Structure formats: C-alpha cells, structure tokens
Amino acid sequence: MTNIFSDIPENQKAELIETVLQTSNFRMERIVSQGHCSPEGFWYDQDENEWVILLKGSAGIRFEEKEELIVLHPGDYIQIPRHLKHRVEWTDEETVWLAVHYK
C-alpha cells in the first residue's frame, strides 16, 4: 500500500511528476508543485486529453485566449481536451494533483 501524500521531498527545484499507473490507454500521474508554475510564455499543448483533480493546496490555471483564471482548491477537478493550450499560473507551497492522461 502507498499513500498519495507520502515521500514528498522538500524544496524541489522542479515539479515532481510520477507515474502512478499506466496502461496502453491511459497514464495516471501524481504531480507535486511547491510554488511552481509554467515558465513565462509557455503553454501546454498535449496530444492526449487530461482529467486532473487537486488533492491538496491550490492552483491557478489559465486557458489560451481566455481572460478568466480558474482557481482550483482541494476536491476541484477539470477536464482539459487535447490541444487546448493551458498553463499553470501559480501553485501553493505544497500542491498535490492527480492527473489522468488518455486518448
């Protein structure tokens, strides 16, 4: 048995992204952010759909060509269709996400 909140290193220079479960159809990742955000001018443009739930902390996500900043709190989840450009504007000092990537 493993706990999603265990083995979180302190003071990471980069976001921690770990594959928790993977099949030929999907990949589930634990993402740990410690104040991390997308680099200036960078937009994710993924080939797969993504469903993500925030488990701990909070974060702000922005979609390209939309002014609204979406703020996520524990329990909030969002569906991101493939090739919908998005970025992480900010995260709390310890933010834990669970992301499912699928075709």
What domain count does the chain have? 1
| Residue listed under structure tokens 């740990």 | 32
87 located within any domain: yes
15 located within any domain: no
pTM for the model stands at 0.92
1 located within any domain: no
Percent helix / strand / coil, the chain, rounded to 5: 0, 50, 50
3-class SS of residue 59: strand
Element (H, E) at 79: strand 77-80
User: For residue 75, what pLDDT is reported?
Assistant: 98
Structure tokens at 51: 């469903």
Q: Residue 79: which domain range?
A: 20-102
Strand partners, 93: none
User: For residue 33, what pLDDT is reported?
Assistant: 96
Whether the per-residue pLDDT at 10 is higher than 90: the answer is no
The answer to whether the beta carbons of residues 99 and 26 sit under 8 Å apart is: no
Per-residue pLDDT tens digits for 50-95: 999 999 999 999 999 898 999 999 999 999 999 999 999 999 999 9
Query: Which CATH number goes with the domain that contains 60?
Result: 2.60.120.10
